[in-house]
Amino acid sequence: MDCVSPILDVTTRLWYCTAKRAVYIRHLPQNLNSLRTAMEELKNLYEDVKERVEREEKLQKKCTHVVDGWLRNVEAMEEQVKEILAKGDEEIQKKYLGTCCPKNCGASYNLGKMVLEKMDAVTVKKTEGSNFSVVAEPLPSPPVMERQLDKTVGQDLLFGKVWKWLQDGGEQVSSIGLYGMGGVGKTTLLTRINNELLKTRLEFDAVIWVTVSRPANVEKVQRVLFNKVEIPQDKWEGRSEDERAEEIFNVLKTKKFVLLLDDIWERLDLSKVGIPPLNPQDKLKMVLTTRSKDVCQDMEVTESIEVNCLPWEDAFALFQTKVGADTINSHPDIPKLAEMVAKECCGLPLALITIGRAMAGTKTPEEWEKKIQMLKNYPAKFPGMENHLFSRLAFSYDRLPDEAIKSCFLYCSLFPEDYEISHRNLIQLWIGEGFLDEYDNIQEARYQGEEVIKSLQLACLLENGRSRLDKKDEYSKMHDVIRDMALWLARENGKKKNKFVVKDGVESIRAQEVEKWKETQRISLWDTNIEELGEPPYFPNMETFLASRKFIRSFPNRFFTNMPIIRVLDLSNNFELTELPMEIGNLVTLQYLNLSGLSIKYLPMELKNLKKLRCLILNDMYLLKSLPSQMVSSLSSLQLFSMYRTIVGSDFTGDHEGKLLEELEQLEHIDDISINLTSVSTIQTLFNSHKLQRSTRWLQLVCKRMNLVQLSLYIETLRITNCVELQDVKINFEKEVVVYSKFPRHQCLNNLCDVEIFGCHKLLNLTWLIYAPNLQLLSVEFCESMEKVIDDERSEVLEIVEVDHLGVFSRLVSLTLVYLPKLRSIHGRALLFPSLRHILMLGCSSLRKLPFDSNIGVSKKLEKIMGDQEWWDGLDWENQTIMHNLTPYFQPSKI
């Protein structure tokens, strides 16, 4: 038996193999059909995946490597299967006549085996393709972001030198420092380098721009790098500075990059930021700008290049451009005089621009000669950057028309470098300081404040801030050179360095330094604390104390005791400040007090003593429980009271509001009120008081039981939030129009610029907006019943169309419509929308057309950017978000 078993095993195995081969041959036709079917199913799946990828790519995404490999494998597999099927069909035809036996069993066997193996491979690909939850990922941020740049003058040679080093390596050059005086064009040159890198696409993975300013802040630079190199959020939030530096290092060490650092004032430790060691062979390079050659040395750059002033031909060409051909050609003597003025600028671009604009419109030789003498009489000769530049730039300051505007300009230097200053907040501070005292009315003072800002911008002493289309407020900023010059002037040409004290980002100011502030006129602290003092400081000359922005938790004991002439106190946005020093109530000369954003629950009763207070601002005080009884009515000089986004007590009963309105009505001089109201009774109190209506500029209504609003004609900003029973908004013309007769009836809401409606579920339309010709921002969200923004079938609309040919929304800059499922129309007629720059629409499933005139106004711009009319009509609004900033495409009309 033992000898027979091996023989049987061999026989069995031979039989099994023979049977298996017979199966391959016998089932070949059936298996070919199965393979053909499986491949068709895989091909259908391939088409589905490919369509998904194409849709994602239209959304600026990129196919994943796994999916891309799968698609290519399926394409290759399809060709292989076609070849197998062709061979199989041919093999089936080769049989002995009248039998099912193939003529070549070996070939049929091999083919049958290949068919089954390929079926297994097709099945695997089908499984893989069915499991793709993600087929594409967002594209990484572009390696270079283009920056705005006007045409450059006179920098070609210097640019060419830097560009050559970046382009071919220069082998030993890994970092370049561009140094020179303020306003000489260093940032302009760096911007040109950035944009040229975008055009030529040299072999760099990333070009990283960081505006450093001072103090050099590692965390700020790390944040810019985090946004650029796309570090996962979980590896960033809550991590220490060193841990973040490690993450940045691990990402950047694998990349070839150029680091552009603008406006460095002191050494920045790149290793603490996470920047790998710079190496020209690895194409890791850095270009920085600074005003000091010492900083280039401290940063250990391999090449330092001085950015010099413009040669004469370029300087005079730039000067003439800013003065304007109309002025230059207004008298035959002026071109020669213009040369004399331009030479006084010594080729400094910022001085050429500033003084050139100041001379624009000066069209008599006598005026030119007078200004030339003024310019030559400045004593500084170039002993140093600061003195030389400031003595020239002070010419524009001296040309300001009066002392009030000069004071307004110097005041802007109290804000930190690169800080964007809110026009509204700045003008309120000016009012508190008394710079605009010739205007008794707050509104007139505001208008004059805007004119002051415009004049400073035209004189190149203020710059426009970033466009913020979602907000009514506007912003300006000071060039850092101009700001330094303003501080130099405010400190009496640097002779009294403590007359203006400005600190930003100082962890703690020591008592010894505070003692030196006895002669200080204005103090401005940003993200800065003061250590505990041995005795209360004495500030006999201090008129202004600004301590804003998050950092201050408390003040030294009795810090505000000795400030006998203080006019302005701004403690806003110190979120950690939970208690207000009681001695503030004894600052009887105070005219401006801003406590916005503080986390205090109660105001001290002593604030009643502030009889000279003109401006009291209590915005965003979410923890405030109550106001001291009769405090507001005791402020007999109060003109401006602002309490928006602050609901006292947060109980929505209206008790606190009613008492507050009673006290406000007792004030003789009140002229500007910003307030939230949450009950029907207090809202009715407001609408029944002509004085309160006349004074209310910013109003937010949050009242569930209110079904009708009678709108004040003086309102500037209106928020109606969660008034779920509100059905209509009306205007009472009878008494109001008599008082407000300077505007025609169809423009009675002339002041209204900003409207936001949220969560008013029964509101059907906003037809009353036809009376607001200056409306700039309109936002309507979550109003489920609204069918039309403007009901053009109503008689009052037809009347206005006859009178006002421009129609409504001619000043509208921003339009937001969110979740208005029944909205069918914005306006029945085609409108111009000449000022429109920003549109956001979401969840407006019934809205199929926008009221854009197809021949006039902004509509052509919109259709050019967003698609033709057919596209609009077929759009699934419920699932689409449309958001476009149109400013780069055309110049909007001035508002």
pLDDT in tens, 709-760: 777 678 889 999 988 888 888 776 544 443 333 445 556 788 889 999 999 9
For the whole prediction, is pTM greater than 0.85?
Answer: no
**CATH assignment of 498-693, among 3.80.10.10, 1.10.150.530, 3.40.50.11810, 3.30.470.20:** 3.80.10.10
pLDDT of residue 63: 87
Of residues 792 and 305, the one with the higher pLDDT is 305
pLDDT of residue 424: 92
Of residues 83 and 100, the one with the higher pLDDT is 83
What is the average pLDDT across 375-388? 40
Secondary structure class of 81 (helix, strand, coil): helix
- Do the Cβ atoms of 784 and 822 come closer than 8 Å? yes
Gap between the Cα atoms of 852 and 625, Å rounded: 48
Closest by CA to 541, choosing from 572, 516, 510, is: 516
Secondary structure class of 841 (helix, strand, coil): strand
Categorize the per-residue pLDDT at 616 as very low, low, confident or very high, splitting at 50, 70 and 90: very high
- Those residues with Cβ within 8 angstroms of residue 582's Cβ, 6 or more apart along the chain or in another chain: 604, 606
Question: Residue 580's beta-bridge partner residues?
Answer: none
pLDDT at residue 867 is higher than 80:
no
pLDDT of residue 664: 94
DSSP 393: H
pLDDT at residue 551 is higher than 80:
no
What is the CA 50 to chain-centroid distance, rounded?
Answer: 37
pLDDT of residue 874: 45
Backbone angles phi, psi at 222, to 5 degrees: -60, -40
pLDDT of residue 143: 65
**CA-CA distances (angstroms) from residue 237 to 233, 234, 274, 894?**
6, 6, 16, 42
pLDDT of residue 287: 92
Of residues 38 and 860, the one with the higher pLDDT is 38
Backbone angles phi, psi at 592, to 5 degrees: -140, 125
What is the average pLDDT across 787-812? 70
What would the pLDDT profile of 707-722 be if each residue is shown by its tens digit? Answer: 777 776 788 899 999 8
Q: Average pLDDT of the chain?
A: 80
pLDDT at residue 662 is higher than 90:
yes
Lowest mean pLDDT among 94-108, 313-327, 591-605: 94-108
pLDDT of residue 4: 47
Of residues 387 and 370, the one with the higher pLDDT is 370
Of residues 169 and 863, the one with the higher pLDDT is 169
pLDDT of residue 19: 54
- Those residues with Cβ within 8 angstroms of residue 62's Cβ, 6 or more apart along the chain or in another chain: 136, 137, 138, 139
Gap between the Cα atoms of 609 and 678, Å rounded: 29
Q: Hunting for tokens 């609003």 — which residue is that?
A: 709
Lowest mean pLDDT among 103-117, 654-668, 839-853: 103-117
Same fold, 400-481 and 498-693: no
Domain ranges of the chain: 4-138, 155-306, 325-394, 400-481, 498-693, 704-894
Gap between the Cα atoms of 254 and 231, Å rounded: 13
What is the average pLDDT across 347-353? 79
- Do the Cβ atoms of 268 and 299 come closer than 8 Å? yes
pLDDT of residue 262: 92
- Do the Cβ atoms of 722 and 758 come closer than 8 Å? yes
pLDDT at residue 855 is higher than 70:
no
What is the average pLDDT across 814-840? 87
Categorize the per-residue pLDDT at 93 as very low, low, confident or very high, splitting at 50, 70 and 90: low
- Do the Cβ atoms of 792 and 766 come closer than 8 Å? no
- Do the Cβ atoms of 157 and 310 come closer than 8 Å? no
Q: Hunting for tokens 């940063």 — which residue is that?
A: 299
Question: Residue 177's beta-bridge partner residues?
Answer: 288, 304
Lowest mean pLDDT among 220-234, 316-330, 555-569: 220-234
Categorize the per-residue pLDDT at 185 as very low, low, confident or very high, splitting at 50, 70 and 90: confident
Categorize the per-residue pLDDT at 333 as very low, low, confident or very high, splitting at 50, 70 and 90: very high
Whole-number percent of the chain with pLDDT over 70: 80
Secondary structure class of 438 (helix, strand, coil): coil
- Do the Cβ atoms of 475 and 423 come closer than 8 Å? yes
**CA-CA distances (angstroms) from residue 22 to 15, 436, 575?**
10, 105, 85
pLDDT of residue 201: 65
Which of 156-170, 280-294, 611-625 shows the highest mean pLDDT? 611-625
Of residues 3 and 181, the one with the higher pLDDT is 181
Amino acid at 531: E
pLDDT of residue 669: 92
pLDDT at residue 581 is higher than 60:
yes
Which superfamily is assigned to 155-306 in CATH? P-loop containing nucleotide triphosphate hydrolases (3.40.50.300)
DSSP 116: H
Secondary structure class of 463 (helix, strand, coil): strand
Lowest mean pLDDT among 21-30, 35-44, 94-103, 600-609: 94-103
Of residues 279 and 119, the one with the higher pLDDT is 119
Domain 400-481 fold: Arc Repressor Mutant, subunit A (1.10.10)
Sign for the pseudo-dihedral over CA of 12, 14, 15, 19: positive
Of residues 180 and 691, the one with the higher pLDDT is 691
Query: Helix 423-433 crosses helix 442-458 at what angle (to 10 degrees)?
Result: 110
pLDDT at residue 404 is higher than 50:
yes
What would the pLDDT profile of 633-647 be if each residue is shown by its tens digit? Answer: 999 999 999 998 887
Lowest mean pLDDT among 56-60, 392-396, 594-598, 798-802: 798-802
pLDDT at residue 614 is higher than 90:
yes
pLDDT of residue 493: 78
Instruction: Give the pairing of strands 696-701 and 708-711.
Output: unpaired
Closest by CA to 527, choosing from 555, 505, 501, is: 505
pLDDT of residue 675: 92
pLDDT of residue 406: 94
pLDDT of residue 2: 52
Gap between the Cα atoms of 49 and 62, Å rounded: 13
Query: Which strands form 206-213's sheet, in the order they lie side by side?
Result: 206-213, 257-264, 285-290, 175-179, 303-306
Question: Residue 698's beta-bridge partner residues?
Answer: 674, 717
Which of 187-201, 459-473, 651-665 shows the highest mean pLDDT? 187-201
- Do the Cβ atoms of 872 and 826 come closer than 8 Å? no
Gyration radius (Cα) of the chain, Å: 37
pLDDT of residue 107: 67
pLDDT of residue 411: 96
Of residues 493 and 738, the one with the higher pLDDT is 493
Gap between the Cα atoms of 352 and 466, Å rounded: 24
pLDDT of residue 598: 92
pLDDT of residue 589: 96
Closest by CA to 62, choosing from 131, 129, 135, is: 135
What the block records as the tokens of 570 is: 């701004």
pLDDT of residue 887: 42
